[in-house]
Amino acid sequence: MLPIVYVLSDSVGETGEFVVRAVASQFNGGHVDIRRVPYIDDHESIVEAFELAKEANAFIAYTLVLPNLRNFVKIKAEEYNIPAVDLLGDLMETFSNVHGKQPNYSPGSMRQLDADYFKRVEAIEFAVKYDDGKDPRGILRADVVLVGVSRTSKTPLSMYLAHKRLKVANVPIAPEVTPPEELFLVPSKKCIGLTINPDQLNEIRQERLKTLGLTRNANYAKFERILEELEYAEKIIKRIGCPTINVSNKAVEETAGIILDILKKGGKISG
C-alpha cells in the first residue's frame, strides 16, 4: 500500500508536492500517494483535511504562509495525533533571523514569481521568432514594433525589452524591400522608429564588414547608400506616424529606457 500524504497549501500546492516527492524518492522508489488540498484560507478547511488524513491513515505536509494557519495546523496535529510537517516555517524563521526582517506573509508569492518568469521566457521567444522581419504576422501581436535601417540596435533592443516582459517585433527598412502591410495596420503608438547619425552608421557598418572579412568598399557601408537608406526609412516612419529615437551614441539601456517611457505615456504599459 502506498504511503499517503496530504499536502496543505494556501496556493496550488506545487511546492509542497515537489518537496514531498523529493523526499519520497529516497524510499520505496519514490512511490507515494500525494493528495493536494489547495487554497486553504480558513480553519474549517484545515479541520476537513485532518479528517480526511485520519480516515486514510495519512500524514500531513503543509506550505502555509500565514502564522495563524500554521499554528492552527500544529494544534490540530496534536489533537488528531497525526504527524504534520511544516515545509516553510523553519526556513522563513531562519531568513527572518538572519536578515532581521519579517516576511511579507503573502500567499502565492512563488506562483507569482513563476508567472513573471514564464512571461519573460515567452517574450524572449517572441523576440527571437519575430526578429529582423522574419514573420510579419508578429507585428500585429507585438507590444511594441521597432523600425529602422540595419545596425540601429533593433535586435539588442528587442532582447533587452523582452527581459522586461514585452513582446517585441522589429522590422528592417531598406529601399529595395517593400515594408509589410501589417506595419501600417498596427496602431502607431505601438511603433518606435529608430534613426542614427550617418557618420556613426558608416563607422558601425565598416566595422561590421571587417568582422565578416568583407571589403570596406561594399555598398552596405558606402556613405551615399547610407544616406539613401536613412532618407527612405524617415519616409516610412513618417507614414506610420510613430515616435522616432535617434540612437546615435546611446547605449542599448538608454534607448530602452526612452522606449519604456514612451510606452508608459501612451498607456501601453503600466508604471
Numbered residues of the known binding site for ADP: 148-155
| Total H helices, total E strands in the chain | 9, 8
Q: Are 154 and 146 in contact (CB under 8 A)?
A: yes
Q: Which amino acid is at 67?
A: P
- Listed in sequence order, the residues at least 6 apart from 250 whose beta carbon sits closer than 8 Å to its beta carbon are none
Give the cell for residue 107: 500567499
Q: How far apart are CA 223 and CA 231, in angstroms?
A: 12
Q: How far apart are CA 100 and CA 75, in angstroms?
A: 28
Q: Are 105 and 67 in contact (CB under 8 A)?
A: yes
CB contact burial 215-246 (16+ within 10 A = b; e otherwise): eeeeebbeeebbeebbebbeebbeebebbbbe
Phi, psi for residue 21 in degrees, rounded to 5 = -65, -35
Binding site as annotated, residues:
148-155
Q: How far apart are CA 133 and CA 144, in angstroms?
A: 13
3-state DSSP call for residue 2? coil
- Listed in sequence order, the residues at least 6 apart from 97 whose beta carbon sits closer than 8 Å to its beta carbon are none
Q: Is the backbone of residue 242 left (phi > 0), alpha (psi -120 to 50) or beta?
A: beta
